[in-house]
Amino acid sequence: NAGVMQNPRHLVRRRGQEARLRCSPMKGHSHVYWYRQLPEEGLKFMVYLQKENIIDESGMPKERFSAEFPKEGPSILRIQQVVRGDSAAYFCASSPAVSNEQFFGPGTRLTVL
């Protein structure tokens, strides 16, 4: 059973471009969570989704950030018009039910030039 998959692992964008981060949860998991980690800091919750629904987006910046988890395909975290402050590691996690035991992917490291 493959773990949580994220791609790309590394993403470089120039200011003003769009970044799309993909997450495929573990097989059988219908709950997906996105977190952001700045250097030397802990992870910060961004959004929690179930298939086709955003359940909790209290950690998402109000502008430029969006997330989806379609019926078919991976979950997508989209950042429009990236700025240097968006540079961070973005982690996706999944779980089979709402749980404190979440399975994390390897992360996508976004660098904004």
Partner 1 sequence: LAKTTQPISMDSYEGQEVNITCSHNNIATNDYITWYQQFPSQGPRFIIQGYKTKVTNEVASLFIPADRKSSTLSLPRVSLSDTAVYYCLVGRTGTASKLTFGTGTRLQVTL
Tokens of 86: 């968006």
- Among the listed ranges 42-50, 60-68, 70-78, 80-88, the one in contact with partner 1 (CB under 8 A) is 42-50
Q: Does 43 bind partner 1 (CB under 8 A)?
A: yes
| Total Cβ atoms within 10 A of residue 94 | 25
Among 22, 45, 87, 111, binds partner 1 (CB under 8 A): 45
Q: State the minimum distance, in angstroms, from the CB of residue 43 to partner 1.
A: 4
**What is the C-alpha separation between 23 and 34, in angstroms, rounded?**
9
Q: State the minimum distance, in angstroms, from the CB of residue 6 to partner 1.
A: 8
List binders of partner 1 among 47-76 (CB under 8 A).
Answer: 48, 55-56, 58-59
- Among the listed ranges 35-43, 60-68, 69-77, 80-88, the one in contact with partner 1 (CB under 8 A) is 35-43
* Residues across the chain: 113
Residues in contact with partner 1 by CB under 8 A are 4, 31, 33, 35, 40-45, 48, 55-56, 58-59, 91, 93, 97-107
